[in-house]
Amino acid sequence: MRAISISAIGSPDQLKVEEFPLPVSSNNPGEQILIKVEMAGINFFDIYQRRGERPMVFPGILGVEGIGIILESSTPLQNFKIGDRVGWSGATKSYAQFLTLSEDQLIPLPANISAEKLLPLLLQGLTAHFLATSSHVASAKTTALVTAASGGVGSILIQLLKRGGARVIPVTSTKIKLEKLQSLGFEDACTYSEMNDKVNLLTKGMGVNVVYDSVGKDTFNQTIELVARRGDMVLYGAASGPVEPINPLTLTRNSIYLSRPTLSDFISTFNEKKERINDLVSAQLSGALELPPLQIFTFEEAAKAHRLLESGMAGGKLAFTTA
């Protein structure tokens, strides 16, 4: 089979297309189910691994997310059957034509919606969903600040927060992205240089109830200062690099709640996965959630795709086709 391999920490140029033996389903943990990959999601976690900011064994195959078809299973399936189309998020070796997984890693998907529409609902959609409904429960009393609001998670998160009744302050990096956000009805959107003044103006200096920060190093010290008394500081990414260690006494200003949640703890059961993905699909079908077209790359375009995502100019979900 063909897959994208990486032999060492480094730039996107480290990504190479190579031939590998076809994986075989077995009784080993994480290898029970053989899946033919239709699409593999391209995510910042992949970049973190490539840059050495997350653990990975080299040489190896990147990719934690995808959609595919169950071909065979070495053990009886409880909630799926052979031929089902499934998703996964948080697995490994997804930049490949085939992979093996365990049943508890699979996400049930509706059969009547295209993979192109479903893929953004997996890692990005499910992350946005738990952020808006579990890390902080959005309501009409919520004012939320969202960094990287034009990105894969951010563009979904702001819509789910709005659906929940929250007042949303989306933050983005360029005037072009700002105008796009405003055209979508987010009139309080601003750039990073305008962020402090915008929050102080809209909250009369009180701060926001929740900050969702996925930028990390470059914004954290600024955004945490914008959290209101007893508000939530939700750090869920590090696009600019990891945040420096924090003195807990920093949180005594306004008695701030700091969290660093991760998706796996919010989709730990089959029912939770099903409920979250079904709610996202319902939002999509109702028009409450609109997503830009998926940007699809071949394996040979791996370096190009990583550079685009790393630049912050992707403006939506990126994926590899495995054909």
**pLDDT, tens digit, 9 for 90 and up, residues 3-39:** 999 999 999 999 999 999 999 999 999 899 999 999 9
Q: pLDDT confidence of 111, banded at 50, 70, 90?
A: confident
The answer to whether 64 and 43 are in contact (CB under 8 A) is: yes
Q: Within a 10 A sphere around the Cβ of 179, how many other Cβ atoms?
A: 12
Task: Report which DSSP code applies to 133.
Answer: I
User: CATH 3.90.180.10 occupies which residues in the chain?
Assistant: 2-109+292-321
Measured distance CA(287)–CA(93) in Å, rounded: 33
What does the pLDDT look like over 250-304, one tens digit per residue?
Answer: 999 999 999 999 999 999 999 999 999 999 999 999 999 998 889 999 999 999 9
Q: Which of 39, 75, 27 is nearest to 299 (CA)?
A: 39
Antiparallel, parallel or unpaired: β 85-89 and 65-73: antiparallel
The runs of H, that is alpha helices, within the chain are 44-50, 115-118, 123-130, 152-163, 175-183, 195-203, 220-223, 270-286, 302-311
56 half-sphere exposure, CB direction, 13 A CA radius:
26
User: CATH 3.40.50.720 occupies which residues in the chain?
Assistant: 124-264
Helix-helix angle 270-286:123-130, to 10 degrees: 100
The answer to whether 156 and 124 are in contact (CB under 8 A) is: yes
pTM: 0.89
In this structure, what are the phi and psi dihedrals at residue 279, rounded to the nearest 5 degrees? -70, -40
CA distances from 321 to 59, 114, 283, 297 (A): 22, 14, 26, 6
Q: pLDDT confidence of 316, banded at 50, 70, 90?
A: confident
2-109+292-321: CATH class: alpha beta
What does the pLDDT look like over 269-280, one tens digit per residue?
Answer: 999 999 999 999
Q: For the chain, give the percent of residues with pLDDT over 70.
A: 100
The answer to whether 97 and 322 are in contact (CB under 8 A) is: yes
Positive or negative torsion for Cα 55, 59, 60, 62 = positive
* Check whether domain 124-264 has CATH 3.50.50.60, yes or no: no
Long-range pairs of 171-178 with CB within 8 A, sequence gap ≥ 24: 171/145, 171/146, 171/147, 171/195, 172/148, 173/312, 177/150, 177/315
The strand pairing partners of 85, in sequence order, are: 69
**Tokens coding 33:** 């189910």
The answer to whether 166 and 138 are in contact (CB under 8 A) is: yes
